[in-house]
Structure 1
Amino acid sequence: MKTILITGGSGMVGKRLSELLIGKGYKVIWLSRERYVKAQIPRYRWDYRKGEIDREAVEQADMIVHLAGSNLGDGSWTRLKKQKIVESRVQTAKLLLETVKKMDKKPEAFISASAVGFYGQETGEKIFTEEDNPADSDFLSRTCRKWEAEAFRFRDELDVRTAALRTAFVISKDSEAFGKMVLPTRFGLGAPLGSGRQYLSWIHIEDICRLYLKAVEDSAMQGVYNAVAPEFITNAGFMKTLAKEMKRPFLMPPIPAFLLRLFMGQAADMVLYGSRISSQKVIDAGYEFTYPSVKEAIEVTLLRMKEKDENPKK
């Protein structure tokens, strides 16, 4: 039984991935703010700001899945917030690498999160593949480059198999961002954001977690992969599909970009821009999407949200 160490395990993706791994017979442990080894999933303490880490957790790990990172959508991007966004991704990977370097045992693989923000915040018809460079040197793109560069030090300096999954918007019953789309739509107030012509790259929670599972189990997976569903859709198309699945009208005018920037600041660019991102590489690697269309993904997620509301303890 192999042991998988997950950073950011208590997050939306980390929780579901942990369930899948345990269901497949793996032992899962988390790095967390507090040590609690008797928990159902043992937790070991780390604090990247102080350079502190429970070495016992890293020594147990046969593989490391690095999901840690400050929530991008949590508040405006102040200078301190930006610093936290970068450091919570880059400095954590650096701390893991430095810890492994001091040990006799190396992990079999280091699998890191990344984001489609790597390609830059622009709207166009170009389909970006893993071979493309960023279209624009904005904050998110620079962050992703630093994030991936630190992850791939495991490959370059320790010869450890390394993969990075450039993740899109995750559709899940537990997603705060998706919930913020559902709420106004429920009252017939769903609307496109900005022009609505920007593409919204997306993936269902089951598919992103099964992609991580595949990266754990498939030794051929290394390098960068776009973790996006194969169907392209604009922001307006997504919101219209959501309204249709909720059986609500879709008559509201687009929400102006200046209003979004007024409330979200620079973070509004995450939803105001977007190009098409290719999923062909993961398909060629043998992955079959459980939810390849946005209609299917929204439909099942709305059902799960309803079940969650009816059975809040589950």
Structure 2
Amino acid sequence: MMHSVLFRLFFGFALPLVLRASSLQPNPSGLTVGFYQYTCPNAEAIVRDEMAKIISIVPSLAGPLLRMHFHDCFVNGCDGSVLLNSTPGSPSEKESVPNLSLRGFGTIDRVKAKLEQACPGVVSCADVLALVARDVVVLTKGPHWDVPTGRRDGRRSVKDEALNNLPPPFFDAGRNLYQFFIPKGLDAKDQVVLLGGHTLGTSHCSSFADRLYNFTGTLMPDPSLDKRYLPKLKSKCVPGDAATLVEMDPGSFRTFDASYYRHVAKGRSLFTSDQTLMNDPAARDYVQRQAAVADAGTYPAEFFADFAASMVKMGNMQVLTGAQGEVRRHCAFVN
């Protein structure tokens, strides 16, 4: 299979264990680490301090805020479009099915307001999302990386574009790699590494209910689900339940670590997308390697370095810089 070959091409090496993320990927013109050092020198400190306060009070927001950056970047690039409200006759990305469960918009507004007090009209909402994503990972014991900044905010947000571009929880990590990741400049390694972000947060039962009760229309459970884990999930998610939240990384869903891969290796992941990583030899090798680290309780140096690199790479996707777009004064509205 062609996708197996591609997995092996990108997984044929392991990154050095200690790297500065900003040195791993070339950045688009105008996107640099320390972009605000003269125009708003305390910008990153303001974001970090505000996030430390928020996560100390509401730690469950870490996963949703990390997810929000993904959902922004995968739709026409990292331009803050996921934050825009709908206008009459023009529903925005917020109203698209994959985004209905997003949480944390008030947090972004709070951080942006602090930045506007310090440096009016300087720091973009797209950069706020990127910095917040990094900081929630750090605050939950994950890796730190230098975030290249200088993004500008887009002026459009279209509901249907979110549905067409965001990878659904039921996609096949091998077959759909070419649909959702490759066209955006992300490769097979980025896919398995970025899915590791599921170590944080929860999911509604409705996102994986088909795996419990009617997998691919068979009226049977997904055979790849661990037989001992299946009844536990069924006890939490009855048919038709759209409200209950289930931990994506049971036992450490508020800590950024490699234990997510341990659940994937054991057939205990919630989503089809995660479990299908085990169908390709190269992806499976990466999952099992990180699972072994989690089982041993050792520092996940490889995964942390890989995640930092892939986040920088994702954060560079189709960015607006220079005179493109604008810097919104309020993230929910164009200026």
TM bucket (normalised to shorter chain) is under 0.3
Provide TM-score, normalisation by structure 1: 0.27
Q: Which has the higher helix share?
A: 2
Q: Which has the higher strand share?
A: 1
Q: Which has the higher contact order (CA 8 A, sep 6+)?
A: 2
